[in-house]
C-alpha cells in the first residue's frame, strides 16, 4: 500500500499541476519543442508557480516565448530568473514585466533573457542601498514604495549610474526631508538623462541640484520633457544639461505651493504625486 | 469635451477669485505652450517670448475678476499676449526695411524643400515671418499655426473678418515670396 | 486673374465652395503660372501648419506663480477669509490633487501634433481613475495601448479612431505606469504627449504616466 502510494504520489503531483496549469500545457503542446524539452519546461513552470510566481504570468511568458520561437534553454532562463527573484525576496514585478515587455515587443528572446537576468542582479545590488535610506529615516508610507525605489535604483545601476551617485541623490532627498517616492522620481530622472546620452555624473548632479532646490516630482517630470524637447531639436545632451543648469540657477520652483501642500497633507512631503508602486501588482 | 473644458476652467477661475492662488497654476500649465509659442513667433527671441508670455499670465490673473464666463479664457489670453507683443515690437521698432530682407535668407539657392530636408526649415520660417509687418504676422500665426477660425481671430484682435482676410492674403503672398527668395514686395 | 487669386486664398482659408475649386483646377490645367502660385502658397501654409511648437521653458509655471500678486483677483475680497476656511473644510488634498489631475489635460485647440494625456479622476482615493490617452496619426489603420497595466498585450486596449485622431479611456488605480502605443500591430510609439519617459531596458523608450488620487 505504501509502495503504491510512493509511486502514485509523483503522478498525483503532476496531475494536480496539470489541472492547475492547463494554460501551461496548452502553450507547450502548441510549441515546436521536443517532448523531453516540453517536460523539462513544464516541470520548471509548475515549480515556478509553486514558488509563488503568478500562474497568469508563467502562462503568458511561456506562450509569448513560444510564439517568438524561443528555444527551451531560453524559456528555462526566464523561469529560472523569475524563481530566483522570488526566492531572494526581490521585487518580482519588474522582472516579470521586463520579460513580458521584451517578448511582446519582439526583442530576440535571448536578449530578453539577458536583460531580465541583468535586472535581477541589479535589483539585488540596489536593495541594500534603499534599505539603508529607509533605516536612516526615509520610511515608506504606502505599500509598494520600497519596491519602486529598489526598481528605480536597479535601473539606474543598469545605466551605469554608480551606487555613490544614487546614494548622493538619496542624501539630497533626505536633506529636503523628502519621501521615498521623491527619491524614486529623482533616480528615474537621472536614469532617463543618462539613457539620453548624458554622462552619469552630470545626470545625477543635475538631479541633485534640482532636489536641493526643492523640486517636486512634477518639476522633475518637467525636466524630462524639457530634455526631450531639446534633444528633438538636435541639442547634445551636454548642451541640454548646461542649459538646464542655467535655468536651475535662475529660477526657484513654486516653493510656496509645496510648503502649503506639505502642511495640508501631514503624511507626505516633497512630491506632487503619491506615486504608489503600481508597477508592483 | 469642449464643455467639460470650459466648465472646469470656470471652476478654476472661481477658485482663484475666492483666494486660491494655487489653482491658477493649472491654467498656466494648460496654456503656457500656446502663449509662449505665439509670443515667440511674434518677437522671434526665446527669452523675450518667455518674459512676455509670463507677463501675459500675470496680467490675466490680475484681471480675472473681470473675466466673463461664457467666453473662452484662451481667447482672452491670446489677446493679452498679442497686445504685449505689439507693445514690445513698437518699443523696439522691430521693423525690417525691405532692403534688409534679401540678406535674411542666407542661401537663396536653397529651395524650401531642400531647407526642409536639412532641418533648416524652422529658422528659415521664423526669419521669414519676422520680415512681415506685425499685423500680417499675427493673422498667419493665429490662422495657420494656432489654427483658429476667423471668428475667433476677430474676437482676439478686435478687427473685422474682412480686414483680417485681406491681411492673411497679403501676408501669405509676402511670406511666400520671402521664402522663395525671389524678389521682394514693398508694402 | 485677380479673381482666381482670390479663390486661391479662399481655398487656403478653407472657405472655397466646390464650384470655385472646380474653376481653379480647370484654370490650373492651362495656366502654369497659376499652378505655380497655388503650389507656392500651399507650401507656405504647410510650412506654417507643420512648424514645430517649442515647449515653454522649464519652470515657466513656477516662475509665473512666484510673480503673481499676493492679493487674489477677488471681487468680494471681504469674503476671502471665509472662502479659505470653507475650502479647507470642503476639500482635502485629495480633491485638490484631483483638480490638478483633471488639468494635466492638453490644450483646447484641435491638435495636429500630439498632446498630453487627459486625466480625469474619481473622487474617492484608491479608486480607479479614468485616464484618456490620445494619439494623432492619419495613416494608422489601428492603434492600441500596451503597458505594464496590461502586461504589454497589444490587443487588449484598442483605441478608437476618427479622422486620424485615436483615443482610449483607461480605468487605472493611482500609480505610475509605463506604456506605449502600438501602431498597426507592429510599430511601438511612445506617446509623444506623455508627461515623462523611461528607458525600456531594450534600447527603446516607453511613455510614463502618473495617475493621482
- C92 confidence band (pLDDT: 50, 70, 90): very low
Position B71 scores a pLDDT of: 80
Judge if A70 and A140 occupy the same domain.
no
Task: Give yes or no for C173 touching A (CB within 8 A).
Answer: yes
Domain limits for position A204: 136-264
DSSP code at position C77: G
State the average pLDDT over residues A57-75: 95
Average model confidence (pLDDT) across chain C: 76
The answer on pLDDT for A164 being more than 50 is yes
**CA–CA dist C71, C65 (Å, integer):** 12
Average pLDDT in the A67-95 region? 96
User: Is A279 among the domain residues?
Assistant: no
Residue of C nearest to B129 (CA): C48
- ipTM value, please give it: 0.78
In a domain, A246, yes or no: yes
| Choice between A161 and C124, residue whose per-residue pLDDT is larger | A161
CB contact under 8 Å between B36 and C54, yes or no, is yes
pLDDT greater than 60 at residue A259: no
From B47, B62, B94, the end of a domain falls on B94
Q: Which chain C residue is nearest to residue B27, measuring alpha carbons?
A: C103
For A28, the grid coordinates are 507547450
Q: What is the mean pLDDT of residues A34-49?
A: 94
Q: Comparing A241 with A35, which gets the higher pLDDT?
A: A35
Q: Which residue of B has its CA nearest to A232?
A: B119
| Chain A nearest CA to C97, separation (Å) | 8
pLDDT of residue B54: 96
CB-CB contact of A192 with C204 (8 Å): no
Question: Are C138 and C164 a contacting pair, CB within 8 Å?
Answer: yes
Do both B109 and B47 map to the same domain?
Answer: no
d(CA B118, CA B100): 25
Looking at the complex, report in whole angstroms how far the Cα of residue C19 sits from the nearest Cα belonging to chain A. 43
Does residue B108 sit in the same domain as residue B184?
A: yes
Q: Which pLDDT band, with edges at 50, 70 and 90, does C75 fall under?
A: low
- Would you state the pLDDT for residue A197? 80
Which of B77, B94, B111 is the last residue in one of the domains? B94
| CA separation, residue C99 to residues A164, A262, B12, B15 (Å) | 38, 17, 9, 11
C103 to chain B: nearest residue by CA? Answer: B26
Asked if residue A254 has pLDDT above 50, the reply is no
For position B175, which CATH number holds?
1.10.10.10
Q: How high is the pLDDT of residue C126? A: 64
Nearest to C193 by CA among C211, C203, C180: C180
Residues B107 and B171 in one domain: yes
How far off is chain B from A276, nearest CA to CA, in Å? Answer: 23
* pLDDT value at residue A71: 94
> Cβ of B11 and C99 within 8 Å?
yes
- In this complex, the residue of B34, B165, B179 whose CB is nearest that of residue C44 is B179
Decide if pLDDT at A266 tops 70.
Answer: no
User: Are A226 and C55 in contact, with CB atoms under 8 Å apart?
Assistant: yes
The predicted structure's pLDDT at residue C97: 45
Please give the torsion angle defined by the CA atoms of residues B132, B136, B141 and B145, in that order, rounded to the nearest 10 degrees: -90
Residue range(s) of every CATH 2.60.40.10 domain in chain C: 93-211
Helix (H/G/I), strand (E/B), else coil: C196: strand
- Provide the chain C residues 127-166 that lie in CB contact (below 8 A) with chain A: 146, 148-149, 151-154
C158 or B12, which is more confident: C158
Binning pLDDT at 50, 70 and 90, where does residue C198 land?
A: confident
Out of C51, C63, C73, the one facing B145 most closely (by C-beta) is C51
Last residue in a domain, options B76, B94, B112: B94
B143 and B177 housed in the same domain: yes
Looking at residue B143, what is its pLDDT?
95
User: Is the CB of C196 less than 8 angstroms away from the CB of A221?
Assistant: yes
Least confident residue range of B51-55, C121-125, C171-175:
C121-125
Cβ partners under 8 Å of residue C25, min gap 6: none
Among A191, A181, A169, which residue's Cα sits nearest to residue A141?
Answer: A181
Q: Same domain, yes or no, for B16 and B80? A: yes
Q: What pLDDT does A55 receive?
A: 94
What's residue A112's pLDDT?
97
Q: Are residues A94 and A155 in the same domain?
A: no
Phi, then psi, of C182 in degrees rounded to 5: -120, 115
Residue B148 has pLDDT above 80, yes or no: yes
Asked if residue A96 is part of any domain, the answer here is: yes
Q: Name the CATH superfamily, with its identifier, for domain C93-211.
A: Immunoglobulins (2.60.40.10)
pLDDT band, very low/low/confident/very high, at B3 (cuts 50, 70, 90): low
Say if residue A168 is in the same domain as residue A255.
Answer: yes
Does the pLDDT at position A275 exceed 70? no
Percent of chain A at pLDDT exceeding 90: 57
Q: Sorting pLDDT into bands at 50, 70 and 90, what band is A21?
A: low
In a domain, A24, yes or no: no
CB A244 within 8 A of CB A227: yes
Q: Which region among A5-14, C15-24, C127-136 has the lowest average model confidence (pLDDT)?
A: A5-14
pLDDT, average across residues C118-144: 71
Kindly state the DSSP code that residue C179 receives in the 8-state scheme. Answer: E
Say if A169 falls within a structural domain.
Answer: yes
Helical ranges in chain A per DSSP H: 2-20, 22-29, 35-51, 55-67, 72-87, 93-104, 109-135, 145-158, 163-175, 180-195, 200-212, 217-232, 237-250, 255-264
Q: What's residue C17's pLDDT? A: 87
- For residue B147, the enclosing domain spans 97-187
Number of domains in chain B: 2
- Cβ of C201 and A155 within 8 Å? yes
The answer to whether the Cβ–Cβ distance between B21 and C57 falls below 8 Å is: no
Q: Which three cell numbers stand for residue A127?
A: 536593495
Q: Are residues B44 and B123 in the same domain?
A: no
- A234 to B119: CB separation less than 8 angstroms, yes or no: yes
pLDDT in tens, A115-125: 999 999 999 99
Contact C66 A225 (CB under 8 A): no
pLDDT band for position B115 (cuts 50, 70, 90)? very low
On whether both B8 and B87 belong to a single domain, the answer is yes
Using alpha carbons, list the distances in angstroms from residue C29 to A7, C8, C23.
Answer: 90, 14, 10
Do B36 and B113 reside in the same domain of the chain?
no
Provide the number of CB pairs (under 8 Å) joining chain A to chain C. 131
Amino acid at each position: 500500500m505504501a509502495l503504491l502510494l510512493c509511486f502514485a504520489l509523483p503522478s498525483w503531483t503532476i496531475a494536480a499541476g496539470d489541472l492547475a496549469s492547463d494554460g501551461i500545457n496548452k502553450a507547450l503542446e502548441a510549441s515546436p519543442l521536443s517532448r523531453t524539452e516540453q517536460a523539462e519546461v513544464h516541470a520548471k513552470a509548475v515549480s515556478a508557480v509553486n514558488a509563488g510566481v503568478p500562474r497568469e504570468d508563467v502562462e503568458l511568458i511561456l506562450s509569448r516565448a513560444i510564439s517568438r520561437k524561443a528555444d527551451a534553454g531560453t524559456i528555462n532562463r526566464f523561469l529560472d530568473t523569475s524563481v530566483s527573484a522570488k526566492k531572494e525576496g526581490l521585487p518580482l514585478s519588474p522582472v516579470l514585466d521586463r520579460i513580458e515587455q521584451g517578448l511582446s515587443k519582439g526583442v530576440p528572446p535571448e536578449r530578453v533573457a539577458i536583460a531580465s537576468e541583468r535586472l535581477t542582479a541589479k535589483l539585488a545590488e540596489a536593495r541594500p542601498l534603499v534599505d539603508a535610506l529607509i533605516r536612516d529615516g526615509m520610511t515608506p508610507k504606502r505599500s509598494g514604495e520600497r519596491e519602486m525605489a529598489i526598481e528605480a535604483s536597479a535601473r539606474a545601476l543598469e545605466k551605469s549610474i554608480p551606487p555613490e551617485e544614487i546614494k548622493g541623490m538619496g542624501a539630497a532627498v533626505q536633506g529636503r526631508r523628502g519621501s521615498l517616492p521623491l527619491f524614486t522620481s529623482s533616480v528615474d530622472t537621472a536614469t532617463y538623462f543618462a539613457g539620453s546620452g548624458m554622462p552619469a555624473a552630470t545626470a545625477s548632479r543635475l538631479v541633485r541640484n534640482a532636489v536641493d532646490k526643492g523640486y517636486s516630482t512634477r518639476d522633475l517630470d518637467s525636466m524630462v520633457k524639457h530634455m526631450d524637447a531639446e534633444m528633438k531639436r538636435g541639442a547634445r545632451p551636454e548642451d541640454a544639461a548646461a542649459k538646464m543648469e542655467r535655468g536651475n540657477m535662475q529660477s526657484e520652483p513654486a516653493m510656496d505651493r509645496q510648503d502649503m501642500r506639505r502642511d495640508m497633507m501631514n503624511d507626505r512631503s516633497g512630491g506632487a504625486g503619491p506615486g504608489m508602486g503600481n508597477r508592483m501588482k | 469635451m469642449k464643455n467639460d473644458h470650459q466648465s472646469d476652467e470656470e471652476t478654476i477661475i472661481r477658485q482663484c477669485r475666492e483666494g486660491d492662488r494655487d489653482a491658477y497654476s493649472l491654467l498656466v500649465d494648460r496654456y503656457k505652450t500656446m502663449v509662449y509659442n505665439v509670443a515667440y513667433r511674434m518677437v522671434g527671441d526665446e527669452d523675450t517670448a518667455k518674459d512676455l508670455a509670463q507677463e501675459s499670465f500675470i496680467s490675466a490673473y490680475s484681471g480675472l475678476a473681470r473675466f466673463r464666463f461664457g467666453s473662452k479664457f484662451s481667447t482672452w489670453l491670446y489677446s493679452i499676449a498679442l497686445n504685449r507683443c505689439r507693445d514690445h515690437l513698437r518699443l523696439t521698432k522691430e521693423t525690417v526695411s525691405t532692403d534688409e530682407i534679401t540678406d535674411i535668407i542666407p542661401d537663396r539657392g536653397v529651395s524650401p524643400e531642400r531647407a526642409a530636408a536639412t532641418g533648416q526649415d524652422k529658422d528659415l520660417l521664423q526669419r521669414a515671418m519676422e520680415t512681415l509687418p506685425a499685423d500680417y504676422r499675427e493673422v498667419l500665426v493665429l490662422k495657420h499655426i494656432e489654427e483658429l477660425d476667423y471668428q475667433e481671430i476677430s474676437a482676439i484682435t478686435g478687427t473685422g473678418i474682412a480686414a483680417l482676410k485681406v491681411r492673411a492674403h497679403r501676408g501669405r503672398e509676402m511670406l511666400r515670396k520671402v521664402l522663395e527668395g525671389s524678389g521682394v514686395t514693398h508694402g | 486673374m485677380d479673381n482666381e487669386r482670390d479663390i486661391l486664398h479662399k481655398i487656403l482659408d478653407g472657405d472655397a465652395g466646390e464650384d470655385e475649386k472646380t474653376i481653379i483646377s480647370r484654370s490650373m490645367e492651362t495656366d502654369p503660372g497659376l499652378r505655380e502660385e497655388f503650389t507656392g502658397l500651399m507650401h507656405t501654409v504647410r510650412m506654417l501648419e507643420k512648424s514645430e511648437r517649442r515647449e515653454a521653458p522649464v519652470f515657466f509655471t513656477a516662475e509665473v506663480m512666484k510673480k503673481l500678486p499676493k492679493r487674489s483677483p477677488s471681487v468680494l475680497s471681504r469674503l476671502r477669509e471665509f472662502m479659505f476656511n470653507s475650502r479647507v473644510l470642503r476639500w482635502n488634498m485629495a480633491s485638490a490633487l484631483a483638480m490638478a489631475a483633471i488639468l494635466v489635460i492638453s490644450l483646447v485647440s484641435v491638435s495636429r501634433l500630439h498632446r498630453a494625456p487627459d486625466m480625469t479622476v474619481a473622487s474617492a482615493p484608491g479608486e480607479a481613475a479614468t485616464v484618456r490617452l490620445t494619439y494623432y496619426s492619419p495613416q494608422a489603420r489601428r492603434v492600441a495601448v500596451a503597458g505594464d497595466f496590461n502586461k504589454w498585450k497589444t490587443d487588449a486596449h484598442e483605441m478608437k479612431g476618427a479622422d486620424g485622431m485615436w483615443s482610449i479611456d483607461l480605468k487605472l488605480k493611482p500609480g505610475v505606469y509605463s506604456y506605449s502605443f502600438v501602431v498597426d500591430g507592429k510599430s511601438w510609439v511612445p506617446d509623444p504627449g506623455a508627461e515623462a519617459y523611461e528607458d525600456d531596458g531594450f534600447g527603446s523608450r516607453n511613455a510614463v504616466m502618473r495617475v493621482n488620487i
